[in-house]
Structure 1
Amino acid sequence: MNLPTTIEGFVQAQNERDSASFSHYFTADATVSDEGHTYSGRAEIREWIQQATEKYQMQTRPINYQQSGASAILTVEVAGTFPGSPAVMQYHLELDNSLISSLRFTG
């Protein structure tokens, strides 16, 4: 599957547990909604992903990608140390040029 460069780098940074690189795929004022919380800006997103990957030891494998305009859905298989692993999840993304401006999860 061919992913846009931003999405490919975002997934790679998450799998390498590189929270600093991960956060640079987001706009300066981006938001992430996860488990009932919203994280705003690169610093909060970096802290959130660092804590989540340390806690759950997550690895993601993209299985589908669809984009229409600035909206995209990345479907991934997520494995880690959480109940129900592995799980299929959808990453709902809003893009601003080549960066992510919004991310929320379903699945």
Structure 2
Amino acid sequence: MNLPKVIADLVKAQSTFDSVAYANCFSATAIVLDEGKTYNGRTEIQHWISEANEKYKVVMKPVSFEEKETTSILSAEISGTFDGSPVVLNYHFELKDGLIQSLKITV
């Protein structure tokens, strides 16, 4: 699967539970929307993913990728120590200048 570099970097960071590398895939003003909560900027994003990694040990396996106008959508099988594992989630990215400007995670 041919992913943009920053999305491939994010998947790699998730696979190694590297919350710093994960957060560095985002712009300084990026936002993440996940489970009804919003995380603003790299510091909040790093804290969110670090907590999620510790709690759920999430492994991400890309399933499909498509680009639509200004949005890129990665479907990935997510497995870990949470009820309903594994599940396929959709990651809706907006990229700008080689970094993630926004990410919305949906079922």
- TM-score when scaled to structure 1? 0.96
* Equivalent position amino acid for 2:25 in 1: Y
Q: Aligned partners of 2:70, 2:41: CA distance in 1, in Å?
A: 19
Partner of 1:71: 71
Partner of 1:54: 54
* Equivalent position amino acid for 2:43 in 1: A
Q: Report the identity percentage.
A: 46
Deviation at 1:103, TM superposition (A): 0.5
Confirm or deny: 8 A CA contact 2:60 2:77 kept in the other structure. Answer: yes
Secondary structure of 1:82 counterpart? coil
| Structure 1 stretches lacking a partner, 5+ long | none
Partner of 2:85: 85
| Structure 2 stretches lacking a partner, 5+ long | none
Secondary structure of 2:60 counterpart? strand
- TM-score when scaled to structure 2? 0.96
Deviation at 1:69, TM superposition (A): 3.8
Q: Which runs of 4+ in 1 moved over 3 A?
A: none
What do you get for the CA RMSD once the two structures are aligned?
Answer: 0.8
